[in-house]
Amino acid sequence: MRKHNFINVGLHLIDTNEALGLCREFLRGSGCKMMFFLNAHCYNIAQKNKDYLNALNGADLLLNDGIGIKLGTILFGLPLKENMNGTDFIPKVIKLCVEDGASIYLVGSKEGVSDLAASSLKKKFPTINIVGNRSGYFNSEDEKEIIRDINEKKADVLVVGMGVPLQELWIEKNRSSFTSVKIALAGGAIIDFMSGKVIRAPIWIQKIGMEWFFRFVQEPKRLFRRYFSGNFIFFWHILKNLRKSKWNRI
């Protein structure tokens, strides 16, 4: 699947059906495929953290997330098909796992939250095969045990929700150690959402692209810098690189 350059990050410009089709191929293929998401906050971090930038560009599937990326790609003439944010798309991957009988392992969030997420998913999908779940807070010894547990339980899909850039870097670092995992995806706060600990915005707010503001109202101290200072920095990067690209065409 071809990637399109959005400045220095390679994005897959596909829709939900195409992405789910690729996931089916991954589940039936060999090796561990990495699935990540790119929003404005992620882009900003990637400009300062080269290891993270390399991890994003090494992803087998990198999907656009949020209105910031949408506006930025419009300026660069990239035709996004739809908003592919992880909060909406990952549940579709989980449903695909249920349909195909693929096993799932959850890693992320605070102690006990992944237990709640697993319980919630089992209520929603009675036939789901969740083979394990762990908190996202662990030391190096715990990490070895977690990887061993993932492999022993032969997890097909690994959902990691530890925040950017830790989750992507952790997946990339341990990718070769996963013996059964076919898809390792970075989901940010997805485990919190699935557990019910964090509530999503009403559908109408999601549709007008203001879910970020709903989240900000819930956690203003933590998210002020990301959504306000961060958006200013993101569009500064966009306009700076847009100007460079115009000069290069002269």
Give the DSSP per-residue string, 75-139: HTT----S---HHHHHHHHHHHHHHHT-EEEEEESSTTHHHHHHHHHHHH-TT-EEEEEE-S---
User: For residue 247, is pLDDT > 60?
Assistant: no
- Mean pLDDT computed over 23-50: 96
The distance of Cα 19 from the centroid of its chain, to the nearest Å, equals 13
Q: How confident is the model at residue 250 (pLDDT cuts 50, 70, 90)?
A: very low
- Mean pLDDT computed over 38-60: 97
Q: How confident is the model at residue 249 (pLDDT cuts 50, 70, 90)?
A: very low
Provide the whole-model pTM.
0.91
User: For residue 168, is pLDDT > 80?
Assistant: yes
- Mean pLDDT computed over 82-100: 95
pLDDT in tens, 185-225: 999 999 999 998 877 767 777 777 777 777 777 777 777 67
- Report the C-alpha gap between 145 and 137 in whole angstroms: 13
The chain-wide mean pLDDT, for the chain, equals 91
Residue, of 43 and 141, whose pLDDT is higher:
43
Q: How confident is the model at residue 50 (pLDDT cuts 50, 70, 90)?
A: very high
Identify the bridge partners of residue 132 per DSSP, sorted by sequence position. Answer: 105
Share of the chain above pLDDT 90, in %: 76
